[in-house]
Amino acid sequence: MVRPESCTVVFPCLNEGVTIARLVTEVRQYGPKAIVVDDGSTDDTADAARAAGAGVISHPENRGKGAALKTGLAAARQSGCEWAFTIDADGQHKPQDLPAFLQCAARTKALLVIGNRMHSPQALPWLRRHVNRWMSRHISGRAGQTLPDSQCGFRLINLNAWAGLRLETDHFEFESEMLLAFIRAGHRVEFVPIQVVAKGPHSRIHPFRDACRWLRWWCRAR
């Protein structure tokens, strides 16, 4: 059984001062520690996170979501944790779903558990919903198994397994790269249904730039 007290939640953050304190407070009610990686924010993200009880690691300038996740996961492992959650800091993920990930890992022995929003995706914007399905379909074909929500950032990760992977990307394609690397390494991956929360009017994803990065990674991964 994976105990929540033995886990760390990693939040990659860029200007999430409005939401991060509430999320850290909610996460800590379930037992895990919290690490916020402030990826070059220009607002009060770091101060709000510290006030809520999180450990904070700051990048002096924005390096990308993947780079922030690498920093946070490495810090969680160095602190002695065997498992880490990753949660987006914009409020689209609900900490109330944390126990479902732990139960899935205990039941299936999976080393990577990913949230599945596609069982009820109506809250996702139309374009993101269809792009996610397209990406998930292609990664599923490459992996040889069905991966219903390859782009979800709400994950439970075994840190020893993660540390044994060679992951090279630093932006939004990092989560696709991680998923495929776990499968290629022979590690079990499972999905759990999670609550679907509509994001605000802005997104950190740049439609053209990040799509080009993903496609470059995809061509290399082939």
pTM of the model: 0.91
Give domain limits for the chain.
4-221
Work out the average pLDDT over 85-108.
Answer: 96
Residue 2 confidence class, pLDDT cut points 50, 70, 90: confident
Q: Give me the mean pLDDT over the 143-155 stretch.
A: 94
What distance in Å separates the CA atoms of residue 205 and residue 202, rounded to the nearest whole number?
A: 9
Q: Is the pLDDT of residue 1 over 80?
A: no
For residue 83, pLDDT beyond 50: yes
Mean pLDDT is lowest, of 38-52, 131-145, 151-165, 178-192, for 131-145
Residues 67-72: contacts with CB under 8 Å, at least 24 apart: 67/39, 67/170, 67/171, 68/12, 68/13, 68/14, 68/37, 68/39, 69/10, 69/12, 69/37, 69/174, 69/175, 70/167, 70/170, 70/174, 71/37, 72/8, 72/10, 72/11, 72/12, 72/35, 72/36, 72/37
Contact 56, 46 (CB under 8 A): yes
What's domain 4-221's superfamily in CATH?
Spore Coat Polysaccharide Biosynthesis Protein SpsA; Chain A (3.90.550.10)
